[in-house]
Amino acid sequence: MENKKTILITGVAGLIGSRLADWIIENKPEYNVVGIDDLSGGFIENVHPNVKFYQLGLVDGAINDVFNAHKIDYVYHFAAYAAEGLSPFIRAYNYDNNLKSTARIVNECIKHDVKRLIFTSTLAVYGHGLGGIFDETQQQSPIDPYGVAKYACEMDIQIAGEQHGLDWCIIRPHNVYGVKQNFYDKYRNVLGIWMYQHLNNEPMTIFGDGEQTRAFSFIDDSIEPLFNAAVRPEASNEIINLGGIEEISIKDANKMLCKVIGEDIEVQHLEGRHEVKHAIPTYQKSVDILGFKYKTSMYNGLTQMWEWAKKQPMRDRFVWSEYELDKGMYSFWKNETKEINK
């Protein structure tokens, strides 16, 4: 097909990036997909064979070469290291990986007159919010360096819009899970962490009392709305929460997964972390603008992910070889084997 439009996805080997690329290739033949990933948190097996793939880091890689090689119409910037709890101990890495890389993407979008930049931020920008309910109009007040980095990215993108005419849409997803998630990283994605622990005959771990509440988001429900964030005129220059609406405590989420697995599983409570106690977003804006529909219950989503996870190869777990700060480090991370496995 001639005159195809081209979509660039950063983080294309991760959960959100790979699944969106799959969907576009299977459902929107009028688009080409170009993908960038350094494979530090995603896997090449996740990348659809029809993606024009570049293995590059965004902090110091030659991303300008990618933009020069293709006429990019839309950019999805998903690449990030989303470890809120760990971010106070890897500050410099956090800001390089999340803020500096985003600045480079914004520069290229401006230079090459990209039609729209779609940036995935996070509910972490809200901090504690107003009683745990997060609305897009609230003042942001993040409580960890990850949330600070993402909020800074949001502000920079909006400035780029005001000063350079960059069209943007900022999406704030939350607790996304599903098929193709990296469940080998011990610092993020609690549902995947539990699956990895069980598959390796380890007890499942919960920080604190487990009364923290979240709304988990099954990736399949968010894919088409993410596509709409690029192509719908009404999504221009909008900030939108996107994802699940079912509030559940961490303790009850763990019980649900154990029910899906069908076994009586040992659970170990660890010391509490510095974290938001309750994080529940409003979602009406995603319905009105992006056409979001909550289709998949958490039980059904966990069932699909677990059936997939059981079939995955057992890779070595990613462990940081050295933290930037040890002071104040939680005991469950401080005493671990200091070896990076990839």
> Whole-model pTM?
0.95
Strand order in the sheet with 116-120: 52-55, 31-37, 5-10, 74-77, 116-120, 168-173, 238-242
Determine, yes or no, domain membership for 40: yes
- Average pLDDT (17-42) is 97
**79-229-103-100 Cα dihedral, nearest 10 degrees:** -30
Q: Write down the pLDDT at residue 162.
A: 98
Determine, yes or no, domain membership for 58: yes
23 has a pLDDT exceeding 90: yes
Q: Write down the pLDDT at residue 154.
A: 98
Determine, yes or no, domain membership for 340: no
Residues of the domain holding 108: 1-333
- CATH number of the domain encompassing residue 320: 3.40.50.720
Q: Which of 31, 54, 146, 196 is catalytic?
A: 146
pLDDT digits (tens, 9 = 90+) for 287-324: 999 999 999 999 999 999 999 999 999 888 888 888 99
Determine, yes or no, domain membership for 264: yes
Q: Is residue 146 annotated as a catalytic residue, yes or no?
A: yes
C-beta separation of 255 from 206 below 8 A: no
Q: Write down the pLDDT at residue 339.
A: 41
Count up the domains in the chain and report the number.
1
Q: Identify the weakest region by mean pLDDT among 65-79, 136-150, 216-230.
A: 136-150
C-beta separation of 234 from 260 below 8 A: no
- The tokens for 119 are 């940036």
Determine, yes or no, domain membership for 341: no
Determine, yes or no, domain membership for 338: no
Q: Identify the weakest region by mean pLDDT among 112-116, 181-185, 287-291, 330-334.
A: 330-334
Determine, yes or no, domain membership for 339: no
Q: In the Cβ-directed half-sphere of 61, how many Cα atoms lie within 13 Å?
A: 18
Q: Write down the pLDDT at residue 341.
A: 35
Determine, yes or no, domain membership for 84: yes
